[in-house]
């Protein structure tokens, strides 16, 4: 008997910047969200975003979201390990996945083929992987003692441990991880997404499989298609292929709130380096607080993005002997609270001066308020960023997936430019006062050993 397809409960059409046709957003009865964005061209991007990442981990399972992401490629009852990659890469596909604090996503970008042949094949394989992963024990590899790794069968556990090792050699990653650890005391964002060798070497398959079944539910998934496709036909095929057999009650997690930071925090490490690495971190608004979030995006451009930015001009371009080799700012957007960063590389004998110069720039936001020219520049840059993203099916898919996952609805992306237009100098000053308080800064520094 043919299974009944999950009904479409809601359909919305959303106008997206620089796309010719409205993006179609469907909510199915089983909770699955489907988004179809039409874009002319030979390529199509297929992705599914799952609302789980390190936010849903504790110390016993730290890194499990990312480990599961690796294991999702290890086959289903229909396709043994490796077949998914082989078939799709033989069509010219780029196949990969990524895990972050709020989400895990899986994507395929490939030429759609004659009569959409390759697109249909990719959708079929992608849906099978998302719904029917079997996480075979032999691909995971045996459990071992991480401190005494006597093991012959080095399988995916070892691949992830090599990824951890790789990150241990990356100075920016070390600086960021230390900062992240410093910024959070309670909230699960405090854990590194990659996890620890102790957990990865010992977590049993059952724990991973249970985690998969718990979080990879239709309500937690958004499937996004971007390309020159027939929306009605595509919707039908996704509903057919994503035929969830089990509909477990969706878990509504509650996360320990992060106590307000009341004073500066500082961590310093040393290693075998020639230069100094530094990050300042501030807690920002929740990603869904669009106005404050955009005000900080604007401020980030003014402070530290591009050669005309304040930090670049004042700290690198104008001084005769700059303390800094590189300096910039950025905002990471998270569902439960963004983080605003300064990232700098500096001459290691100038550590104290480097910190003070950066602090001064934050004080200057009040003393030398943002000018109309700076505001205009930042708005134009953000508008141009949307134009850039609209150039590739992958970036369109990634932007939609990112925003719908961290904001829980599509408006964060669709409304962004409208809200941006309303941002004033006063909004920026208020956001800076609220979030970029030097009494609540966390600072992470990595220095050469002396």
Partner 1 sequence: MNSFDISTLSNGIKVITRKNKNTPRTAVNLFIDSGIKCETKAGEASLAGRLLLQGTNTKNTEEIAKELDNNAIEISIDTKQDYAKVRTVFLNEDFDKAIEIFADLTKNSTFEKAEKESVKFKGEIEMDLDSPRTKAIDNLIKNIYPNHPYGNTHTKVLNDLPEINRDLLKDYYYSSLIPDAMTFAVVGDIDKDSIISTFESKFANIKGNLNKCTVKIPDAIQENKTILIKKADAAQAQIVKGWIVPDMASEDFAPLAIFNTILGSSGLSSRLFVELRDKKGLAYHVRSTFDPFKHSGTFSVYIGTAPVNINTALDGFNTEIRKLQEELVSKKELEDAKSNYLGKRAFYHETNAQQAHYLGYYDIIGLGADYDNIVPEKIKKVSEKDIRDVANKYLSGNSVISILAPEEFLKNF
Interaction with partner 1 in 278-317: which residues (CB under 8 A)? 306-309, 312-313, 316-317
Nearer to partner 1, 80 or 259 (CB): 80
Contacts of 200 (CB under 8 A, 6+ apart): 63, 67, 146, 157, 160, 161, 164
Rounded Cα–Cα distance for residues 224 and 249 (Å): 23
Determine, following the binding rule CB under 8 A, whether residue 273 of this chain makes contact with partner 1: yes
Shortest reach from residue 316's CB to partner 1, in Å = 7
Among 23, 71, 133, 160, binds partner 1 (CB under 8 A): 160
Between residue 207 and residue 266, which ones bind partner 1 under the rule CB under 8 A?
none
Determine, following the binding rule CB under 8 A, whether residue 269 of this chain makes contact with partner 1: no
Q: 3-state class of 414 per DSSP?
A: helix
Q: 3-state class of 326 per DSSP?
A: strand
Nearer to partner 1, 183 or 315 (CB): 315
Question: Which tokens is 353 given?
Answer: 């001066």
Nearest to 423 by CA among 293, 260, 327: 293
- Residue-by-residue DSSP string for 4-54: PPPPEEEEEEE--TT-SSPEEEEEETTS-EEEEEE--SSEEEEEEEES-SG
Shortest reach from residue 176's CB to partner 1, in Å = 15
β-bridge mates for residue 377, sequence order: none
Shortest reach from residue 29's CB to partner 1, in Å = 35
Nearer to partner 1, 85 or 198 (CB): 85
Between residue 190 and residue 209, which ones bind partner 1 under the rule CB under 8 A?
none
Between residue 354 and residue 373, which ones bind partner 1 under the rule CB under 8 A?
373
Nearer to partner 1, 29 or 169 (CB): 169
Beta strands 265-271 and 442-448 are parallel
Nearer to partner 1, 40 or 148 (CB): 40
Among 77, 147, 150, 272, binds partner 1 (CB under 8 A): 272
Determine, following the binding rule CB under 8 A, whether residue 387 of this chain makes contact with partner 1: yes
Q: 3-state class of 319 per DSSP?
A: coil
Site string for partner 1, 388-427 (x = CB under 8 A): x-xxxx----------------------------------
User: Do 62 and 192 contact (CB within 8 A), yes or no?
Assistant: yes
Site string for partner 1, 85-114 (x = CB under 8 A): xx--xxxxxxxx------------xxx---
Nearer to partner 1, 184 or 312 (CB): 312
Among 21, 120, 241, 381, binds partner 1 (CB under 8 A): 381
Question: Is residue 47 packed enough to be buried (19+ CB in 10 Å), middle (13-18) or exposed (0-12)?
Answer: buried
Nearer to partner 1, 57 or 305 (CB): 305
User: Do 265 and 183 contact (CB within 8 A), yes or no?
Assistant: yes
Determine, following the binding rule CB under 8 A, whether residue 46 of this chain makes contact with partner 1: no
Rounded to a whole number of angstroms, the distance between the first and last alpha carbons of the chain is 73
Determine, following the binding rule CB under 8 A, whether residue 22 of this chain makes contact with partner 1: no
Rounded Cα–Cα distance for residues 280 and 167 (Å): 20
Shortest reach from residue 435's CB to partner 1, in Å = 23
Determine, following the binding rule CB under 8 A, whether residue 42 of this chain makes contact with partner 1: yes
User: Do 313 and 319 contact (CB within 8 A), yes or no?
Assistant: no
Among 158, 209, 332, 362, binds partner 1 (CB under 8 A): 158
The number of residues in the chain equals 450
Shortest reach from residue 411's CB to partner 1, in Å = 22
Between residue 48 and residue 87, which ones bind partner 1 under the rule CB under 8 A?
73, 81-82, 85-86
Nearer to partner 1, 13 or 20 (CB): 20
Size of the site for partner 1 (CB under 8 A): 74
User: Do 359 and 303 contact (CB within 8 A), yes or no?
Assistant: no
Determine, following the binding rule CB under 8 A, whether residue 150 of this chain makes contact with partner 1: no
Shortest reach from residue 255's CB to partner 1, in Å = 29
- Residue-by-residue DSSP string for 432-446: HHHH--GGG-EEEEE
Determine, following the binding rule CB under 8 A, whether residue 117 of this chain makes contact with partner 1: no
Alpha carbons within 13 A on the beta-carbon side of 26: 22
């Amino acid at each position: 008997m043919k299974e009944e397809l999950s009904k479409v409960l809601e359909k919305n059409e959303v106008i997206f910047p620089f796309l010719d046709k409205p993006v179609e957003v469907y909510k199915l009865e089983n909770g699955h969200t489907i988004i179809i964005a039409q874009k002319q061209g030979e390529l199509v991007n297929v992705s599914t975003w799952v609302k789980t990442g390190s936010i849903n981990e504790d110390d016993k399972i730290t890194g499990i979201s990312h480990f599961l992401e690796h294991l999702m490629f290890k086959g289903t009852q229909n396709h043994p390990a490796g077949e998914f990659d082989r078939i799709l890469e033989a069509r010219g596909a780029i196949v990969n996945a990524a895990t972050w604090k709020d989400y895990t996503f899986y994507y395929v970008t490939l030429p759609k083929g004659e009569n959409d042949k390759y697109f249909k094949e990719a959708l079929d394989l992608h849906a099978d992987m998302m719904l029917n992963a079997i996480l075979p024990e032999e691909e995971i590899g045996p459990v071992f003692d991480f401190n005494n790794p006597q093991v012959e069968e080095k399988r995916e556990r070892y691949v992830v441990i090599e990824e951890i090792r790789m990150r241990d050699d990356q100075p920016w990653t070390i600086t960021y991880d230390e900062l992240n650890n410093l910024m959070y005391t309670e909230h699960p964002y405090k854990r590194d997404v990659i996890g620890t060798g102790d957990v990865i070497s010992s977590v049993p398959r059952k724990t991973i499989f249970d985690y998969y079944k718990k979080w990879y539910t239709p309500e937690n998934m958004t499937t996004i298609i971007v390309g020159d496709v027939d929306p009605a036909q595509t919707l039908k095929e996704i509903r057919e292929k994503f035929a969830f057999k089990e509909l477990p009650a969706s878990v509504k997690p509650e996360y320990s709130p992060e106590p307000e930071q009341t004073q500066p925090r500082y961590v310093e490490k040393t290693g075998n380096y020639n230069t100094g690495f530094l990050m300042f971190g501030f807690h920002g608004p929740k990603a869904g607080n669009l106005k404050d979030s955009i005000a900080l995006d604007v401020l980030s451009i003014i402070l530290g993005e591009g050669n005309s930015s304040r930090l670049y001009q004042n700290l690198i371009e104008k001084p005769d002997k700059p303390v800094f080799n590189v300096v910039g700012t950025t905002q990471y957007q998270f569902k439960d609270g963004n983080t605003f960063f300064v990232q700098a590389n500096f001459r290691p004998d100038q550590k104290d001066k480097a910190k003070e110069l950066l602090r001064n720039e934050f004080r200057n936001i009040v003393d030398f308020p943002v000018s109309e020219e700076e505001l205009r520049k930042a708005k134009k840059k953000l508008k141009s960023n949307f134009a850039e993203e609209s150039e590739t099916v992958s970036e369109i898919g990634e932007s939609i997936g990112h925003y719908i996952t961290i904001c829980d609805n599509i408006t964060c992306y669709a409304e962004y430019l409208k809200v941006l237009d309303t941002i004033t100098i006063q909004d920026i000053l208020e956001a800076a006062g609220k979030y970029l308080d030097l009494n609540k800064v966390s600072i992470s520094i990595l220095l050469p050993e002396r």
